[in-house]
Amino acid sequence: MIIPVNKPSGYTSHDIVAGLRRAIGGKVKIGHTGTLDPMCTGVLPVLTENYTKLSDIFPSDKAYICKICLGIVTDTEDITGEVISKSEVNVTEDEFKAVLSKFIGEIDQVPPMYSSVKKNGVPLYKLARKGVSVEREARRIKIYDIVYNGPLEEADTYSFTVYCSSGTYIRTLCADIGNALGCGACMGALERISSNGITLDRCYDYNDLLILAENGMIDKIAISFESAFAHLDVITIPESGRVYYLNGGIISASRIVGVELKPETDYIACAEDGLVLGLAHTDKGRSVKSLWNK
């Protein structure tokens, strides 16, 4: 199943997965597609059983609504951390809006110490909790767009929506924006409104999902595979090669009809009778191989 969770604040992503596992019961295999910090809310797709294999295949782009607090620097780069410094803010709204555009595009971002990124096999947050800071290599991420939403009621706080690639730390983006403005900044709140192609309006509150799971009804709200991957074109696997394909065999592009295959591209694979088989992938020569079987 693909369970679309609207994660509440105060829970780790692990808490959500563990709670749903208990509610569903049995030894169900379950996981999520991308961590949200405890203070953050919003879209957290949870996968069960065979669908857990889709975690690295989903569209990876994400979108967030962020509150940024200027003039405050913390050790975690968000408002929950220990305050390192406070500065007077002499930034106009126009100046804030102007600096956002400087972060659109491919940029290098240094992961924060309070993160799950590992250094010599040890998660950085474990080192940070011991007061240890280490050098981290910058990672190339992509900010597709940043939309300014306006000022908030609190002084020197603003809201913006960011559309970005997987692996982007919005906390670090806030800190970098603060550095660019010369006053420092931290993230004040964060809501993920889209993840892996699933939008917030398709998600259900966590507590409601627990009730559905306990009553054996959570499958009623699960997102179908076909819906989650509706952005992909469909190809038909010939009946004569169906078993061979499902067992890992490669099907020549010349045997696929109806679609001009593109190299290194994912497709929804169907049988000739219309049954959805799963995901297929083409190699450079456009031959087709199973990527995931439903």
What backbone torsions phi and psi does residue 86 show, to the nearest 5 degrees? -130, 140
Whose structure tokens read 């913006």? Answer: 160
Catalytic residue selected from 37, 78, 156, 266:
37
The alpha carbons of the chain give a radius of gyration, in whole angstroms, of 22
10 Å CB burial of residue 117 (0-12, 13-18, 19+) is: middle
State the sign of the Cα–Cα–Cα–Cα dihedral 100, 103, 104, 109: negative
In 3D space, the residue among 130, 92, 102 whose CA is nearest the CA of residue 114 turns out to be 130
Whose structure tokens read 């999520």? Answer: 32
Cα 23 to Cα 40: distance, rounded to the nearest angstrom: 23
Tokens coding 279: 């995901």
Is residue 32 within 8 Å of 203, Cβ to Cβ?
no
Residue 37 is a catalytic residue: yes
The full DSSP string for 64-132 is EEEEEEETEEESSSBTTS-EEEE------HHHHHHHHGGG-EEEEEPPPSSSS-EETTEEHHHHHHTT-
Is residue 20 within 8 Å of 46, Cβ to Cβ?
yes
**Active-site positions?**
37
